């Protein structure tokens, strides 16, 4: 039985959600693990919907990840089923059978093949997921699907999340107005090597699957792949992007590159949705009270800058210093030095809250800690590091590490 958690002090309200043409969705109580709350989400897409996906690089992925990877090459989707409370991971043959049974039951309702049904699960690892509870709840849920079911879906996929997460943007594509809207869940076990735990984005744009895939892969790199709550990559991570084509814009060729000028507005809007969802996950980090923005410049390459930024964001000593509102810049220097990337103590500079604290291998003469102390008491902490070695840059987001993280994870299965 899940215990109610206090809402994160970093929480943001849901934006005004819109109807994405070609998508109907909703949530129901299937009693998979939780009592008295929704835990099963179903979305149905119109025929012709294309799909793209990015998945965890964990070597121990859940059965739904394998299922989605296997069917993604078709590039088509008609339905999505998501459950919360049980991750269907490390469940062997039973896990695969649950995926097959769920997809077949959904396909009958949607009038499609099981290979057009995408599946996602989140929750406890190593427990058999009873597909009978899901398949029993699906017919009534399908009957109640609505174009306005986005908030219900956002709430239905939550586990230790303390607030629902959604983002929306509009864009022009070949002169046609299109909408992009998404939901996400994630609070702990978040240090994505591709994505967050779960995120689902839909657009009414008409886009070929290869173009959609290129856009998603590019967008994830600087959003979901730049966040960390606890350095742990989930077995269940996935981001799926669906394009219904209901906006009826002039289609692009399947060979169109993600950086093509015709995609500029759409690409920027999609990036905005992915960025917002990734930020919301960090704002709901388990036990989090502070959002950390970590900017790294002067690295030998962008990839090197990213690894330095993530090392800072993943450091328990940096995270606990931030939790304690201690401007201990020595811990930042420690994190830079340990991560194996090129760095030089004598060219390194560190700033917190816009105040340069250390430069050229030593503390700034006459450094006044007063404004930095005040900055550390806020909810949003800015850390900037310049390595002084090259032109590589990156930005990552993390959160502090508090007793709340231990409280939540120490009793996760109880």
286 assigned ligand-binding residue: yes
Residues near 186 by beta carbon (within 8 Å), at least 6 away in sequence:
161, 165, 196, 197, 198, 199, 229, 281, 284
Annotated binding-site residue? 370 = no
- Is 347 one of the annotated active-site residues of the chain? no
Give me the catalytic one of 56, 98, 162, 196: 196
CA distances from 155 to 38, 149, 173, 231, 266 (A): 7, 10, 30, 25, 27
Question: Has 409 been labeled as part of a binding site?
Answer: yes
The annotation status of 159 as a binding-site residue, yes or no, is yes
Report whether 231 belongs to an annotated binding site. no
Residue 3's CB is within 10 A of a number of other CB atoms, namely 9
Is 196 labelled a binding residue?
Answer: yes
Q: Which residues are annotated as a binding site?
A: 159, 185, 196, 286, 409, 414
Catalytic positions, written as ranges: 196
Binding site residue list for substrate: 159, 185, 196, 286, 409, 414
């Amino acid at each position: 039985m899940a215990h109610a958690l206090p809402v994160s002090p970093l929480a943001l309200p849901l934006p005004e959600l819109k109807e994405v043409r070609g998508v109907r969705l909703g949530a129901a109580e299937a009693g998979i693990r939780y009592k008295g709350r929704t835990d099963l989400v179903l979305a149905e897409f119109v025929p012709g919907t294309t799909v793209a996906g990015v998945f965890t690089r964990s070597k121990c992925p859940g059965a739904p990840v394998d299922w989605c990877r296997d069917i993604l090459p078709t590039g088509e989707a008609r339905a999505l089923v998501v459950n919360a409370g049980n991750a269907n991971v490390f469940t062997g043959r039973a896990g695969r059978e649950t995926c097959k049974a769920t997809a077949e039951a959904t396909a009958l309702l949607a009038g499609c093949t099981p290979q057009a049904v995408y599946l996602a699960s989140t929750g406890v690892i190593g427990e058999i997921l009873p597909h009978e509870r899901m398949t029993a709840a699906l017919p009534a849920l399908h009957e109640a699907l609505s174009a306005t079911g986005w908030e219900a879906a956002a709430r239905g996929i939550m586990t230790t999340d303390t607030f629902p997460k959604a983002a929306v943007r509009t864009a022009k594509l070949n002169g046609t107005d299109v909408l992009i809207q998404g939901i996400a869940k994630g609070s702990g076990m978040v240090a994505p090597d591709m994505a967050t735990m779960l995120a689902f984005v839909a657009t009414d744009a008409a886009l070929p699957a290869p173009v959609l895939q290129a856009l998603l892969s590019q967008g994830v790199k600087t959003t979901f792949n730049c966040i960390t709550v606890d350095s742990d990559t989930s077995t269940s991570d996935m981001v799926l992007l669906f394009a219904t084509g209901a906006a009826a814009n002039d289609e692009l060729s399947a060979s169109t590159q993600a950086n093509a000028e015709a995609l500029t507005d759409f690409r920027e809007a999609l990036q905005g949705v992915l960025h917002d969802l990734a930020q919301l996950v960090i704002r709901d980090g388990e036990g989090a009270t502070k959002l950390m923005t970590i900017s790294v410049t002067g690295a030998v390459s962008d990839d090197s800058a990213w690894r330095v930024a993530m090392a800072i964001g993943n450091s328990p000593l940096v995270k606990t210093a931030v939790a304690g509102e201690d401007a201990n810049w020595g811990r930042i220097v420690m994190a830079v030095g340990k991560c194996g990337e090129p760095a030089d103590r004598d060219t390194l500079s560190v700033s917190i809250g816009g105040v340069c604290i250390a430069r050229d291998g030593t503390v700034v003469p006459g450094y006044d800690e007063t404004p930095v102390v005040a900055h550390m008491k806020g909810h949003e902490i800015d850390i900037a590091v310049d390595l002084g070695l090259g032109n590589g840059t990156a930005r990552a987001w993390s959160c502090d590490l508090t007793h709340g993280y231990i409280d939540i994870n120490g009793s996760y299965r109880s």
